[in-house]
């Protein structure tokens, strides 16, 4: 069908909300948004994402321009089309990743969308960003309580809950002896999309004590245990 071009995540709780699939190499010439409820399995050995949908169903999905702001109204049309539970209505974020037969009329979310004025791809002072793509956030500066410590290079997510657990931080501009370390998203205090900066509650020293992260080595519980003890 295509290749995963982007992943959009919720800046409030770090849950991946959509895959953006680029179908141009397969001759379809469009980018398709798919929520995680459409994903059947990820085959990491083959680098293949298996969906529970047919191609024609996906090709008929509502189009969203990634270069323009996205509203709750557009999201409602999208999740309704796929028959997914709107994640913003879920009290439990994990349940938001499951398919549901219940649908919500886009009109039901217009007023909350107006009230919150939440849009994407904008740095306007009075407008909140509720979704970011990994491409957008890639390269953001990580600001510790006592100064900058690196830039985001990648993201590590849980393939069962679609929760981004860690940020991979490139620290070479700050520490010659370090390459990449992990920063838990639980340690993130806030995201400033206008300044392309993510603020953490940790100090530079605390982050410097983290074990070096090697991207080509599987992330196992033993490493996570060592990471959280640091």
Percent of the chain with pLDDT over 90: 37
| 138-229 CATH fold | Photosynthetic Reaction Center; Chain H, domain 2 (3.90.50)
What gap in Å lies between CA 143 and CA 153, rounded to an integer? 14
Strand order in the sheet with 3-10: 31-34, 16-22, 3-10, 131-133
- Of the pLDDT bands very low, low, confident and very high (cuts 50, 70, 90), residue 193 is confident
Q: How far apart (Å, rounded) are the C-alpha atoms in residues 215 and 133?
A: 20
pLDDT digits (tens, 9 = 90+) for 136-184: 899 999 999 999 999 999 999 888 888 999 999 998 888 776 678 889 9
Write down the pLDDT at residue 64: 84
Are 69 and 121 a contacting pair, CB within 8 Å? Answer: yes
User: Residue 70: is its pLDDT beyond 80?
Assistant: no
Say how far apart CA 88 and CA 90 lie, in whole Å. Answer: 6
Tokens representing 129 are 């960003």
The reported pTM is 0.76
Q: What confidence score (pLDDT) does residue 66 get?
A: 74
In terms of DSSP bridges, do strands 16-22 and 128-129 run parallel, antiparallel, or are they unpaired?
unpaired
Determine the average pLDDT of the residues in 7-32: 89
How far, rounded to the nearest angstrom, does the alpha carbon of residue 5 sit from its chain's CA centroid? 12
**Reduced 3-state DSSP string for 50-105:** EECCCHHHHHCCCCCCCCCCCCHHHHHHHHHHHCECCHHHCCCHHHHHCECCCCCC
Domains of the chain by residue range:
3-133, 138-229
């Amino acid at each position: 069908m295509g290749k995963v071009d982007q992943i959009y995540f919720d800046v409030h709780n770090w849950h991946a909300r959509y895959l953006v699939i680029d179908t141009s190499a397969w001759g379809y010439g469009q980018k398709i948004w798919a929520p995680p409820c459409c994903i059947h399995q990820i085959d990491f050995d083959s680098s293949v994402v298996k969906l529970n949908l047919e191609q024609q169903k996906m090709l008929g999905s509502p189009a969203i321009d990634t270069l323009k702001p996205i509203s709750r109204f557009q999201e409602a049309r999208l999740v309704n089309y796929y028959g997914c539970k709107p994640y913003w209505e879920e009290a439990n974020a994990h349940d938001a990743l499951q398919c549901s037969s219940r649908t919500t009329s886009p009109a039901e979310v217009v007023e909350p969308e107006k009230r919150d004025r939440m849009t994407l791809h904008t740095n306007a002072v009075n407008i909140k960003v509720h979704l970011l793509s990994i491409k957008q956030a890639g390269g953001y500066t990580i600001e510790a309580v006592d100064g900058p410590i690196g830039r985001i290079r990648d993201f590590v997510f849980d393939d069962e809950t679609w929760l981004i657990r860690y940020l991979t931080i490139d620290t070479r501009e700050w520490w010659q002896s370090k390459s990449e370390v992990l920063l838990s998203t639980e340690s993130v205090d806030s995201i400033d999309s206008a300044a392309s900066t993510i603020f953490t509650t940790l100090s530079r020293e605390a982050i410097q004590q983290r074990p070096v992260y090697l991207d080509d080595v599987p992330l196992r519980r033993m490493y996570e245990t060592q990471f959280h003890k640091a």
